[in-house]
């Protein structure tokens, strides 16, 4: 990848999804203009050498994919990578054959999928895996499931794969649930795209609670996964529970209190030490 090469040569630095020139702050306006002019010269030289066919989207063998087909495939994928789930505005998407042409794949709309450039580079033209089933699974809803049929007016906010509601039986004021739109029973069955979507909404919900109630000074975050762990609705959901000073007499131990007398482990250690000392006397 170009970005990796430039980083290896210490020309650019990467911060999350963005690249910046190393020591850019030390450049004068004249230096910046010279750099821009040099880049434009190099781009023009490349265009003169390769021609405008560089704008045609290549596949891994020959020919190119028409703009109409690319648009339809991207629209069908809702402009997200059909493997990792990243959005097109975060990482460029490529439309390519599911079954490669050198494996007999056809230029039919049903044989195309949208992958970000990273996922597509890893797939290459030897792999015929169809990731569209992953996209289709995001739309699955279980008949009769409470969280699959939540009334729209209860939804506080959402993104492509998750939504947020208030808990109907709140532990504290502001108790919020972050729930996948797809019917999935356990957190451990979530795909990476869903985990990313969940984390993003978790931050949104936290910021919303803090903005509405300055008395909130902490949070408990938890998932009841399985009947033995207390899960009552077999549709994965994450609890975000605001905490305030004094809302319980002894908060130490937090979620450890789900097992009686196991919360304040320091007191338990002190008690064990005292018992051990007494036994030695």
Residues labelled as active-site residues: 237
| CA atoms of 101 and 79, how far apart (whole Å) | 24
- Smallest CA-to-CA distance from 64 within 76, 74, 55, 52 is with 55
- Spatial contact of 129 and 123, defined as CB atoms under 8 Å apart: yes
């Amino acid at each position: 990848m170009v970005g990796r090469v430039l980083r290896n040569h210490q020309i650019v630095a990467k911060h999350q999804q963005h690249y910046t020139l190393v020591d850019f702050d030390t450049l004068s306006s004249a230096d910046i203009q010279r750099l821009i002019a040099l880049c434009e010269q190099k781009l023009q030289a490349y265009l003169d050498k390769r021609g405008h066919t560089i704008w045609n989207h290549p596949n891994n063998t020959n020919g190119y994919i028409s703009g109409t087909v690319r648009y339809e495939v991207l629209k069908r994928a809702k402009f997200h990578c059909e493997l990792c789930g990243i959005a097109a505005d975060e990482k460029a998407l490529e439309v390519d054959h599911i079954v490669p042409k050198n494996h007999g794949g056809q230029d039919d709309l049903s044989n195309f999928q949208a992958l970000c450039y990273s996922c597509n580079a890893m797939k290459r033209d030897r792999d015929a895996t169809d990731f569209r089933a992953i996209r289709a699974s995001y739309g699955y809803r279980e008949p009769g499931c409470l969280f699959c049929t939540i009334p729209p007016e209860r939804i506080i906010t959402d993104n492509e794969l998750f939504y947020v509601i208030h808990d109907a039986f709140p532990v504290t004021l502001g108790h919020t649930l972050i729930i996948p739109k797809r019917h999935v029973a356990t957190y451990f069955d979530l795909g990476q795209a869903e985990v990313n979507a969940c984390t993003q909404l978790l931050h949104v919900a936290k910021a919303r609670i803090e903005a509405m109630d300055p008395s909130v000074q902490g949070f408990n975050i938890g998932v009841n996964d399985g009947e033995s762990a207390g899960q009552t609705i077999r549709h994965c959901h994450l609890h975000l529970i605001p905490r305030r000073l004094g809302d319980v007499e002894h908060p130490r131990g937090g979620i450890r209190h789900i097992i009686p007398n196991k919360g304040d482990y320091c007191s338990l250690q002190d008690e064990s030490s005292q018992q051990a000392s007494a036994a030695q006397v």
